[in-house]
Structure 1
Amino acid sequence: MSMMQEFKDFASKGNVVDLAVGVIIGAAFGKIVDSLVADVVMPVVGRIFGGLDFSSYYLPLNGQASNLALAEAKKAGAVLAYGNFITISLNFLILAFIIFQMVRLFNKMKKEQPVAPAVAPVTPEDVILLREIRDALKK
């Protein structure tokens, strides 16, 4: 089998297509969660912690002035951008929680599907004949 045929067989399997769709939807969903964290959650958190943009909190490590914007401080040297790390960590936690809830919902849907009634196994003819002989000998 040629390599192109093998690749075609691999790519046409349902799991590969499902994975590709999942990756695309996951990327789009990640952007939605990024926006939720950056535009909705973090402004509220920033307001609680003094009204500043929380993602721009940093500790200067190279002797820069601490009143510079984060981008300017990074140009001047190394900084510990803990606010950005906290924002991204919160983004991850929200995304992980939502994915957990989705998986939980799908697992519940799988369990609720009706199970087909069990069909009694067919007894082989020789076993039936042996049972009749046994019963006849008991009499």
Structure 2
Amino acid sequence: MMQEFKAFASKGNVVDLAVGVIIGGAFGKIVDSLVGDVVMPIIGRIFGGLDFSNYYLPLNGQGTTLTLIEVKKAGGVLAYGSFITVAVNFLILAFIIFQMVRLFNKMKKAEPAPAPAPVVTPEDVLLLREIRDSLKK
């Protein structure tokens, strides 16, 4: 069992996957910071200087004058501002990944098209052509 596990863990695909997950986690933190610290303040400024993370609807009847953290402590809340932030985060991440895949596809060397296979005429066709040519003479 240990040998099977060693063979599984040492395969290139498993190592590549592990590296991808680690880099993806770090990349996710970068995108979270980009969205939370750069993009969302700009979007909030465009929409009147409001912070989306504090947009919510209380489900327990309390007013909306409290911050989201205070309302969550008091009871249920529908935090649609957090959802907007996560949705924008996803869109930015998807766009960046799309651009990366596009860049890698451009960097790939185009494989040359295989040479067309030579046309091989079957024996019976050659024989019929010989007969036809003989009859013409």
TM-score for the superposition, normalised by structure 2: 0.79
Shift of 1:46: 1.0
The amino acid of 1:60's aligned partner reads P
The amino acid of 1:25's aligned partner reads I
Spell out, residue by residue over 1:103-131, the C-alpha distance to the aligned partner (whole angstroms, 9 max, x if none): 12222222x3454986x89xxxxxxxxxx
Q: How high is the sequence identity, in percent, across the aligned residues?
A: 80
CA distance in 1, matches of 2:34, 2:65: 27
Equivalent residues of 1:57, 1:70 under 8 A apart: yes
Partner of 2:60: 62
Spell out, residue by residue over 1:13-72, the C-alpha distance to the aligned partner (whole angstroms, 9 max, x if none): 111111000000000000000000000000011112221221111111111121001010
Structure 2 unpaired stretches of 5+: 119-126, 132-137
CA distance in 2, matches of 1:48, 1:105: 32
Spell out, residue by residue over 1:46-102, the C-alpha distance to the aligned partner (whole angstroms, 9 max, x if none): 112221221111111111121001010111111110110000010011101111111
Give the superposed CA RMSD: 2.3
Partner of 1:41: 39
Equivalent residues of 1:64, 1:77 under 8 A apart: no
Question: 4+ runs of 1 displaced by more than 6 Å?
Answer: none
TM-score for the superposition, normalised by structure 1: 0.78
Structure 1 unpaired stretches of 5+: 122-133
Partner of 1:22: 20
Equivalent residues of 1:58, 1:70 under 8 A apart: yes
Equivalent residues of 1:56, 1:69 under 8 A apart: yes
Partner of 1:71: 69
CA distance in 1, matches of 2:58, 2:101: 42
Partner of 1:99: 97
